[in-house]
Chains A and B, each alone.
Chain A
């Protein structure tokens, strides 16, 4: 076994760091859209809004039931074939669309469970003072459900950050794509990918710390 080329690895760090922002953007934007979509889905499911409820069930079933990579290829290669206007979809857009819908499908279910878990008396109290359904969701139920759903939602976010690496298959040069190119040029595959792996790992660790902090903050109202 050859000795690791540490010098190469250290030199690679600043090179790959330039692509980290794109990875974080893909995940960040994907997460924001996925959260919005998941909340809408969850509310539709909880209130059993006719038609929308059935559509949501099919949507969730499809995006949970098929691989993310297949979905990305559908958005990137498949849609432009059907609708020529969609040829403007680039790899970054297709990745964000795929991540959004895939993770929204998962998160909708955990948000729905958290909403259902909020005590019925909270809803009744909100109704009794004359709040509309929208107001009681926004001000009372969702904030309480957030606390319950937070740990699983953070898990999905962590998963999403790692899933951005699939974007390289759509020709997006994010952290994974850049690593692939560097490795192909130097033939030092192990060194290149271990540097990339450590970068993902550090990002995820920072997020875990953030999760702890948020959980403590959200639990403030519930401790004696």
Chain B
């Protein structure tokens, strides 16, 4: 029982971070209609930013956190301007290849600067834990869940109630018509990337606080799984990203926790198997809308 509960807590932690990253994938896909495969690597850059801040002596945690989010947001903005904006009118395939290229570029730059060995961030946020009966819950878990929920709700409110949010929705439905109504499509897409990358920054903080290590491939592995979560939940949908993230996190934690040790290495496989089953049963994802082809 104790084991089950702590596994579930682990799963919820992991799921929260997946959800934040999945949200980034989903927003960019929904509005700019592209799969930003470099999104996961933005997290990696964010964790390295935290690592550098920690090395630089005793900056307060909140400054480190702000630096991390700012670095990620700026990175998202720059990548969009330099790599994706010139391809706005080209085929989705060339944009996809470019995104994969950007992903490798970020990984290799990280390799160049930080080398391939895993770095540890022992000093970053240690809150201890609380015990409820026999069960010990790390306090950081509450921070992770709270942050994720607040961000999800805040983002939903922002999109539905501000002119920028409405512009995003309009662009996601019909770029051309939005432009003809005076909406600046370029700055709207830019903003989408900045918000998505800032979310990746928050995910980086939560990841660093919980797992306390990073190597140049941390982001891409994590990002691909979060992408799977976004597709599972229905890409383009905010609650879909949330459900997809938590489902994936829980399944991963449960397989690691309860499968025999020889099979735990296969925990990623279980997640992907689930994705494949989902795509066969409901290709548009759990909350994705089915497209009806009108003739």
Q: Do A and B bind each other?
A: no
Q: Which residue numbers of A lie inside 8 Å of B, CB to CB?
A: none
Chain B contact residues, CB within 8 Å of chain A: none
